[in-house]
Amino acid sequence: MSTTIRPALPADVRGINRLVEPMTHTGVLLGKDLVSYYEAVQEFLVAIDEAGEVVGCGALHVMWEDLAEVRTLAVHEDHLRTGLGHRLLDSLLERALQLGLQRVFCLTFEVDFFVRHGFEVMSEAVEPDLYNQLLRSPDEGIAEFLDLARVKPNTLGNTRMIKALLPPR
């Protein structure tokens, strides 16, 4: 079965939610309200099957001038191990390069998957000036990037990973 990857449209939001919602019950992904998906629709790519259904998705959320996070990367169970997740991630990384970003962050249980794409477990400390700027954001993804204690209950043991795309400026 062939799939097409394209930027998400507001009309895709309910399909994204249907795809992601079962994964929130197992703790693989954090649950979001529909309004959050609508607000972030421009960050999403979707994989659409021949029937027009959303069978995969992923978002690239810019966090800073050189940094973004891969969020809500999900593939329908019928499309697992078909390479669709890899295609979605490659498309998100290409989008990051087009934006001139230098690093991409993710929070994941799927460490091996992201390692195959050049991500490494995060051990680097965030420089103090950047840390202080990011600390002002109400965004939970940024709190996870900073490894703030208040997000520990939400991360459920996820691994913080990062990939360098471009050399530092």
Q: What is the pLDDT along the chain (169 residues), one digit of tens a residue?
A: 689 999 999 999 999 999 999 998 888 888 889 999 999 999 999 999 999 999 999 999 998 899 999 999 999 999 999 999 999 999 999 999 999 999 998 988 899 999 999 999 887 666 767 766 776 777 776 767 766 655 554 445 678 888 999 766 5
State residue 155's pLDDT score. Answer: 47
Spell out where the chain has E strands.
3-7, 44-49, 54-64, 67-75, 103-108, 120-121, 159-164
The per-residue pLDDT for 132 is: 66
pTM score: 0.83
In the chain, what are the domains?
4-164 (3.40.630.30)
**pLDDT reported for residue 163:** 94
Helices (H), 60-134: 84-98, 111-115, 128-134
Identify the three-state secondary structure at position 52: coil
Q: What are phi and psi of 120, to 5 degrees?
A: -125, 150
User: How much is the pLDDT for 98?
Assistant: 95
Residue 122: its pLDDT value, please?
A: 80
Determine the residue type at 80: L
